[in-house]
Amino acid sequence: MLRKPAGVAGLITPWNTPFMLESWKLAPALAAGCTVVLKPAEWTPASASVLPEIMTEAGVTDGVVNIVHGIGEEAGAALVAHPQVPLISFTGETTTGREIMRSAAAHLKGLSMELGGKSPCLIFADADLDLAIDSALFGVMSLNGERCTAGSRILADRPVYDELVERLAARAAQVVVGPPSDPRTEIGALVHPDHYQRVLDYVEIGLKEGARLVAGGSRPGGLTSGNYLAATVFADVNPRMRIFQEEIFGPVVCVTPFDSQEEAVALANDTRYGLAAYIWTSDLRRAHQVAGAVEAGMTWVNSHNVRDLRTPFGGVKASGLGREGGQHSIDFYTESRIVHVALGDTRVPRFGAGPAGG
């Protein structure tokens, strides 16, 4: 089998963790021998601006790595539609992913897309609650909640539900919100005023739908300006509520009770997304059963986002298609070509040579 670079790879990255996601795509594309055109998110363009200097210092030939800034509807769309860009690796929201698929279909482009998520964190009564609470809070509040794998739906076993809600609310109330220059800060400002307003709108939606706000929900005291939101916890959230179904992408978490393992799995799967899942239990048999039943591209048992970067990263359902990471990235950025070589005599049926075969 031969592997050949697939050609020019179009890389479209989101505004959350921009430099990390740019490097995740750039490194394997270059290792596979592709040239690349990178289109960073328009809200976070600065980190990509240091890449030319890094590439020059590393000895990468001019023209191998190209950066195009601009809004998605123009620069991104042009990259996806270009007939000489056979591959598109995209990380972003599901709606944009659908538009990319429509455009890429005209040229039968290869696609790898990691899209939205509404990941469940299932906490059973036999779990180590101290560790589970630490993980659940970190999972949705870190990176200001602006992370695709956030465990933004906490599903809690009924016997520990009330205690869990009480402890989550108390801990959330102590989360430090402030500027990144303050070493105590745990949640900073959201990325953009438009996104900040979107997250605030979801808080209002949750209240109108009847969810019980037990922590946060507004600007923290002492921060009179900036896109700041206190760590927010909604309890008594049912699966028909929009805050249960839709990706908020901020420091907002929903808590929902369940009464059986079967109901926990049903609730976990009751969204259009399937990116990540987190399971907390001391019962190994249950852990395997639930992990096998939950519809998620990546599942963690009694841990949070601790992974080997060579393992496949990606989701199912509306959370995307394809996988990247390790060998999976090489598979995407190269074309495999099979060469069959005869090492001995080959018997071939002799069509047209007569009844006796000539």
Which range, of 226-240, 272-286, 307-321, averages the lowest pLDDT? Answer: 307-321
The pLDDT of residue 307 is: 87
Decide if 190 contacts 225 (C-beta within 8 A): no
The pLDDT of residue 357 is: 57
Cα–Cα distance, 155 to 285 (Å, whole number): 19
Is 114 an active-site residue?
A: yes
Per-residue CA distances from 55 to 48, 229, 232, 286, 338 (Å): 11, 38, 41, 48, 33
Map out the domains of the chain with their CATH numbers. 2-115+319-337 (3.40.605.10), 120-301 (3.40.309.10)
Beta bridge partners of 136: none
Beta bridge partners of 268: none
Is 254 an active-site residue?
A: no
Tokens describing residue 273: 């997304």
Cα–Cα distance, 329 to 310 (Å, whole number): 9
Per-residue CA distances from 155 to 162, 256, 286, 306 (Å): 12, 5, 15, 21
Mean pLDDT of 72-91: 96
**Active-site position among 148, 254, 295, 324:** 148
Mean pLDDT of 321-344: 94
Question: Is residue 358's pLDDT more than 60?
Answer: no
Mean pLDDT of 184-202: 97
Question: Is residue 167's pLDDT more than 80?
Answer: yes
Question: Is residue 296's pLDDT more than 80?
Answer: yes
- Mean pLDDT over the full length of the chain: 96
**Active-site position among 22, 34, 114, 146:** 114
Whether the pTM exceeds 0.75: the reply is yes
Question: Is residue 21's pLDDT more than 80?
Answer: yes
Question: Is residue 348's pLDDT more than 80?
Answer: yes
Residue 323 three-state SS: coil
Per-residue CA distances from 342 to 2, 3, 54, 347, 349 (Å): 16, 20, 47, 11, 16
Question: By C-alpha distance, which of 317, 296, 320, 300 is closest to 308?
Answer: 300
The pLDDT of residue 309 is: 86
Reported as a pLDDT band with limits 50, 70 and 90, residue 356 is: low
Contacts of 229 (CB under 8 A, 6+ apart): 177, 187, 190, 196, 199, 200, 203, 216, 218, 219, 220, 250, 251, 252
Reported as a pLDDT band with limits 50, 70 and 90, residue 298 is: very high
The pLDDT of residue 355 is: 77
Question: Is residue 337's pLDDT more than 60?
Answer: yes
Reported as a pLDDT band with limits 50, 70 and 90, residue 354 is: confident
Reported as a pLDDT band with limits 50, 70 and 90, residue 151 is: very high
Task: Kindly provide the residue ranges of all beta strands, DSSP E only, lying in 216-341, ordered along the sequence.
Answer: 232-235, 252-258, 273-274, 276-280, 298-301, 316-317, 320-321, 334-337
Cα–Cα distance, 70 to 318 (Å, whole number): 26
Q: What is the largest CA-CA distance in the chain?
A: 97
Per-residue CA distances from 106 to 80, 86, 259, 322 (Å): 10, 11, 48, 19
